Amino acid sequence: MRIVDAEVLTESVAKLCWEACYYLPEDVLAGFRRAEKTEASPIGKSILQQLLENADEAKTNHMPYCHDTGMAVVFVEIGQDVHITGGNYLDSIQEGVRTGYREGYLRKSVVGDPLLRVNTGDNTPAVVHTDIVPGDQIKITVLPKGGGSENMSAMKFLLPGEGVEGVKKFVLQTIKEAGGKACPPVVVGVGIGGSFDKVTSLAKHAVLREIGVHHPDPHIAELEQELLEAINDTGIGPQGLGGTSTALWVPIETYACHITALPVAVNIQCHAARKKTIVI
């Protein structure tokens, strides 16, 4: 058994928060560059160039790429042979978010009660997903999720008979309704299957996949490609100001489901597709 101090989790999460916000991942930058080369709209092309410039400035000056540094979504995979000591596991993650947002000069965008709406002042609580996995390591990923794109996400139970055509229709309809409001070019995380709770989790986890990597199942990979082409032919374009680069990637995750059901969820990720991972 391996012993890990809760303090280590706090320090790791804090660092991940600001690193994620300052340095856009290389797969996202590569996606911008590819889109910039093929974009048909002059306005769209200019926007993509400015986004690349913005990413460069953020990196050089160690500043947030986007001012909406999000609600922190933290994914933790804890090896079953790990024992955490010196503090409560969940508290240590929340303390990491608190420290990271304060020391990183990130925006505090969380209200404590969804109806009373008073800002908590430290960007906590974060949303924490924990999985127990084999091994003696801890893998932590911080995804600072901006409000604009999260607001445009959607979930629906289709009839099983609607099948793949129904899925395509729902994804496209969600993207068209989101339009420029979701801050395209976007990454479109799609979940298919599972239950009411599982399908949205699948869509959220899909967003974590590297841009350019397809699902291992050929029929899902094919659906990803087909949806990418269809989304990029909606005309929405960068910022919704027209063009051929609406989505950078459409990762899909699936799970088994009930004989009565075909749940689908779409989690939209704006162009500030930030994520940062550490393995302890």
Partner 1 sequence: MPEYRLQTPITKEDIKKLKIGDTVLLSGTIYMARDAAHKRMVELLENNQSLPVDLKGEVIFYAGPCPPKPGQVIGPVAPTTAFRMDPYAPSMYEYGVVGTIGKGPRRDLVKDACKKYGAVSFAAIGGLSTILSRRVKAVQVVAYEDLGPEAIRRLEVQDFPLLVAYDSNGDDLYQQEITKYENYNQKTNKGAV
- Chain positions contacting partner 1, by CB under 8 A: 34-35, 38, 40-41, 43-44, 47, 50-51, 53-54, 57-58, 61, 63-69, 105-109, 117, 119, 121, 146-148, 151, 179-183, 225, 228-229, 232-237, 239-245, 270-272
- Smallest gap from Cβ 214 to partner 1, in A, equals 13
- Smallest gap from Cβ 144 to partner 1, in A, equals 12
- Smallest gap from Cβ 212 to partner 1, in A, equals 11
Judged by CB, which is closer to partner 1: 146, or 194?
A: 146
- Nearest to residue 223, comparing CAs of 180, 149, 162, 171? 171
Judged by CB, which is closer to partner 1: 38, or 80?
A: 38
Judged by CB, which is closer to partner 1: 54, or 137?
A: 54
**Which residues have C-beta within 8 Å of that of residue 223, sequence separation ≥ 6?**
164, 167, 168, 252
- Smallest gap from Cβ 239 to partner 1, in A, equals 6
**Which residues have C-beta within 8 Å of that of residue 255, sequence separation ≥ 6?**
191, 192, 193, 194, 198, 199, 202
DSSP 8-state symbol, 119: B
Buried-exposed string 101-132: b where 16+ CB fall within 10 A, e elsewhere:
bbebebbebbeeeeeeeeeeeebbbbebeeee
Judged by CB, which is closer to partner 1: 37, or 258?
A: 37
Phi and psi at residue 267, to the nearest 5°: -110, 115
Q: Is the Cβ–Cβ distance between 16 and 142 less than 8 Å?
A: yes
- Smallest gap from Cβ 210 to partner 1, in A, equals 16
Spatial separation of the C-alpha atoms in residues 20 and 103, rounded to whole Å: 14
Judged by CB, which is closer to partner 1: 94, or 123?
A: 123
DSSP 8-state symbol, 183: -
Judged by CB, which is closer to partner 1: 181, or 198?
A: 181
- Smallest gap from Cβ 170 to partner 1, in A, equals 19
